[in-house]
């Protein structure tokens, strides 16, 4: 049972990797996240994911293409919300890689976060699976969110303070201006 696990970052991979290995999957990580801003943060998350993979002995494939313009175009022209486009972009790439390289299944570490739109990720994964001809397996990894935080702290991994894109970075740090007078 070969599983390509789309990895959004090292800390989010901690619990899903442990869970999938325990269930008998032959797991390979796959990093593809051109949504992350700024580029220095993208490199830092990529390096942390690599560090995690090395520490737990996970085979890890990296696609470090960074199509910033494409991502922004999608995010700005997104009638149903930019996160939907962002999930779709990343999961479609993972599905295509999995299909082209003979994996049985694909899934994503995005399903571990209580801050993501869980049902939307599930629906998009299943939809892409039907389009690309590769099985998507759904897991509610949120059940292991605290376990994943614990593992990532034990492994001393960098934990990012915002979701990833420039919009989420603004929302994390922008403070309302104080009224004068
Ligand atoms: S908030 Fe997160 S999921 Fe939504 S578009 Fe930004 S990086 Fe993607």
Q: How far is the CA of 117 from the centre of ligand 1 (A)?
A: 10
In a domain, 48, yes or no: yes
In a domain, 168, yes or no: yes
Give the domain extent around 130: 2-173
pLDDT digits (tens, 9 = 90+) for 118-133: 999 999 999 999 999 9
- Quick one: pLDDT at residue 178? 72
The DSSP string of the chain is -EEEEEES-HHHHHHHHHHHHHTT-EEEEEE--TT-SSHHHHHHHHHHHHHHHHHHT-EEEE-----HHHHHHHHHS-TT-HHHHHHHHHHHHHHHHHHHTT-SEEEEGGGG-TTS-HHHHHHHHHHHHHHHT-EE----GGGGHHHHHHHHHHTT----SS-SSHHHHHHHH--PPPPP-
What Å distances lie between residue 44 and 48, 52, 59, CA to CA?
6, 12, 19
pTM exceeds 0.85: yes
pLDDT digits (tens, 9 = 90+) for 44-61: 999 999 999 999 999 999
- Quick one: pLDDT at residue 113? 96
In a domain, 42, yes or no: yes
Q: What CATH code is carried by the domain that includes residue 20?
A: 3.40.50.620
Best residue among 163, 171, 172, 174 to mutate for probing ligand 1's pocket (most ligand atoms within 8 Å of CB) is 163
Best residue among 32, 41, 167, 169 to mutate for probing ligand 1's pocket (most ligand atoms within 8 Å of CB) is 167
- Quick one: pLDDT at residue 39? 98
- Quick one: pLDDT at residue 124? 98
Q: How far is the CA of 87 from the centre of ligand 1 (A)?
A: 8
pLDDT digits (tens, 9 = 90+) for 134-150: 999 999 999 999 999 99
Peptide bond preceding 74 in cis form (omega within 30 of 0)? no
Closest-lying ligand 1 atom to the alpha carbon of residue 83: 4
Q: Computed from CA positions of residues 2, 51, 97, 128, in that sequence, does the dihedral angle turn out positive or negative?
A: positive
Smallest CA separation from ligand 1 atom 4, residue? 83
| Residues at CB less than 6 angstroms from ligand 1 | 35, 75, 82-83, 86, 163-165, 167-168
In a domain, 179, yes or no: no
Q: CA 106, CA 98: separation in Å to the nearest integer?
A: 7
In a domain, 25, yes or no: yes
In a domain, 111, yes or no: yes
In a domain, 178, yes or no: no
In a domain, 108, yes or no: yes
Q: How far is the CA of 165 from the centre of ligand 1 (A)?
A: 5
Smallest CA separation from ligand 1 atom 3, residue? 83
- Quick one: pLDDT at residue 181? 57
Order of strands across the sheet with 105-108?
59-62, 26-31, 2-7, 105-108, 135-136
Q: How many domains does the chain have?
A: 1
Closest-lying ligand 1 atom to the alpha carbon of residue 36: 7
């Amino acid at each position: 049972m070969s599983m390509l696990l789309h990895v959004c970052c090292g800390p989010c991979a901690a619990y899903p990797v442990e869970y999938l290995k325990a269930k008998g999957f032959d797991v390979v990580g796959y990093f593809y996240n051109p949504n992350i801003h700024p580029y220095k943060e993208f490199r830092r998350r990529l390096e942390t994911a690599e560090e995690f993979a090395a520490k737990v002995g996970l085979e890890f494939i990296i696609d470090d293409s960074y199509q910033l313009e494409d991502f922004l175009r999608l995010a700005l022209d997104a009638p149903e919300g930019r996160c939907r486009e962002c999930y779709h972009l990343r999961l479609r790439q993972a599905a295509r890689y999995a299909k082209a390289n003979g994996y049985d299944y694909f899934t994503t570490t995005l399903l571990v976060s209580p801050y993501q739109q869980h049902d939307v990720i599930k629906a998009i994964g299943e939809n892409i699976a039907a389009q690309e001809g590769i099985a998507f397996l759904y897991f509610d990894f949120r059940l292991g969110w605290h376990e994943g935080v614990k593992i990532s702290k034990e492994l001393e991994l960098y934990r990012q303070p915002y979701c990833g894109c420039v919009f989420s970075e603004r929302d994390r740090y922008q403070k309302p201006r104080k009224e004068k007078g």
